[in-house]
Chain A
Amino acid sequence: MSKETRPLNDTMSLKREIRTYGFAKPFWDGTRDRKVVIQYCKKSGKFQHFPRPTSIFTGRRGDIEWREISGKGEIFSYTVTYRGTDRFRAVEPYAVACVTFEGAGVNHIANMVNCTEDELKVGMKVKPYWMPLADGTNLLMFQPDR
């Protein structure tokens, strides 16, 4: 099979265990209902991601609120992994994409599933794919928004 038609692994066979720092709880709580909830700075009118303990724009914790967004977006960049990290050693090749959320202008890095390597393009439209986790939360991934 050529590189282009080789199926990418969706990595679903790997159980994920998320080790969180706690202060991103609203994000993880949102995933229980398959909602993308990220941080927004009221003072500067901008989103920020990944979650931080304060506003990266003003340094004021009180400026941060959590807002639901669609979770749709477009691929900012991507890489196809041929040599995975320890637990991912058996599932290569798989894709990891950096996606810019529409209407938020921030990037989220996640696995890209349900697509072939030749479909992957910078600028490609994507939507969330939710992978259930043992604790009732879901891991946000992306799939083509065809």
Chain B
Amino acid sequence: MSLRDSAIVAYAETKVMDISDRDVWELDAEILESLLDKTGIDKAEIDGLVLAGLTSTGAGNVFWAQTTADQLGLEVDFCEQVHIGGCSAAGCVARAAMAIDAGLCNIAFLLFADTGRRESNSVERSYRREWIEPYGLMGPPGAFGLLSKRYESMFGLDYEMLGKLAVTQRDHAVMNENACEKLRKPITIDDYMNSRMIADPIRLLDCVMPADGAAGLIMMSKEMARKKGLHKRVIPIGYSERTNYGGAMNLVDPTLSGHKAAGEKALKQAGIGIKDVASFHPYDDFIIAILLQYENFGFCKQGQGCDFIRDNDLSYKGNLPLNTGGGQISAGQAACSSHNLIESVRQLMGEGGARQIKNTKNVLNTGIGWINYGRNWGTSAALVLVPGE
């Protein structure tokens, strides 16, 4: 099995910033230096560069990966930009593992950097301009507003349970020094319920806040990691992604997503069942996306997400910890949406500090990428990580 022959040996991240005070390439350089310090490898040993393509700053340049390699003085044999939206970070791990397994490179630098708040060069050419813009439906909040009302009409929706998710993640962000400072204030379920409507029933505290920042990982074969004496190793043992779920159907139930198929495949590859998942680090752009993932991954049945949330302790001390870094919604959506992946790696390396999870047998990290027309999202990804032996 190719995936599990590789290892993540180090992670790095900047603090999440509302608006970056540095250029995106300066952030790249900080991440690179931090990873060189942590691993003791020489810059010249890095022969693979894998970038997340979810970058508004880089979106103006179709040569972004090569430009980045040039800025950092990296001469590499594998140069890749991964374009599956909010699944790009997890997707980078899978693609780096593939490249290492195929002998295309030996040491891969995975880089997730964006300063879209400071400098956005993004122009989205999609269905939106012809079929959505004339009606003033605001991108993601509007889409999730439609999705939420549909869910509510099918199953009912206890908004206080969504509030519980928001509060749990916020409590975690308060404990995370790298979370965006602006968001590190505790909230209550009442605060959630009373936050202003954006796209009814989507409230302000349902929404992720775009922010700036960077993160990165170093990956190599397990064998090389052992030889180099890199003891902190995190192993990807299951990965799957599904793009355009329902894309060839005329009408799609938006409460169902590609996470069902991706989750089953990734867990099977990992050799574990959903009940074995020790902590859950799902992609969170809107609070209800977490509920839908509990259902689609099979933690509970479709329509029973609110009961599941009510019946489980989702804090870092609980039976199924949720996004212990605060999630993107409470840490800020930065660094190409890699936040929950970086937190997963940190926890498995035992570096969670005051919010360290007890059960580090494994983590399930996920991705959600892009918003499609009246359905839910474009790509669903699932990544199972375990601590290395």
Contact = CB atoms under 8 A, between A and B. Distances in A.
Interface of A: 11, 14, 16, 18-21, 24, 46-50, 56-57, 76-85, 87-88, 91, 93-94, 96, 98, 100, 105-107, 109-111, 122-123, 139, 141
A107 B138 contact: no
A117 to B, nearest CB: 8
Interface in B103-135: 127, 129-135
Query: Interface residue tally of chain B, by bracket?
Result: 35 or more
B146 A98 contact: yes
Contacts of B282: none
B150 interface: yes
Given A19-B130, A48-B250, A106-B250, A85 B138 contact: yes
B135 A80 contact: no
Nearest to B248: A56
A85 B142 CA distance: 10
Given A50-B131, A96-B136, A82 B373 contact: no
A131 to B, nearest CB: 9
B136 A88 contact: yes
B250 A139 contact: no
Contacts, number: 109
Interface in B158-172: none
Contacts of A47: 250
B200 A82 contact: yes
A44 to B, nearest CB: 9
A86 B8 CA distance: 42
A79 B130 contact: no
A146 to B, nearest CB: 21
B129 A19 contact: yes
Specify which of B137, B197, B254, B373 lies most central, judged by the most chain A CB atoms within 10 Å of its CB: B137
Given A78-B146, A79-B142, A82-B196, A94 B136 contact: yes
B149 A78 contact: yes
Quick one: which of A57, A81, A88 has the most chain B CB within 10 A? A81
Contacts of A110: 135
A23 B147 CA distance: 28
Interface in B190-231: 196-202
A85 B146 contact: no
Contact of A96 (B129, B142, B150, B247): B142
Given A47-B250, A79-B145, A79-B149, A109 B131 contact: yes
Contact of B146 (A21, A79, A84): A79
B85 interface: no
Contacts of A76: 150, 374
A106 B251 CA distance: 6
Contact of A24 (B130, B137, B142, B145): B130
Contacts of B131: 50, 109
Contacts of B374: 76-77, 98, 107, 109
A98 B254 CA distance: 12
Given A50-B127, A80-B200, A82-B200, 11 more contacts: A49-B250, A77-B153, A79-B142, A79-B146, A81-B137, A83-B199, A85-B133, A93-B200, A96-B137, A106-B251, A122-B149
B141 interface: yes
Contact of B136 (A48, A84, A98, A122): A84
Given A96-B146, A98-B374, A105 B251 contact: yes
A25 B107 CA distance: 51
Nearest to A80: B200
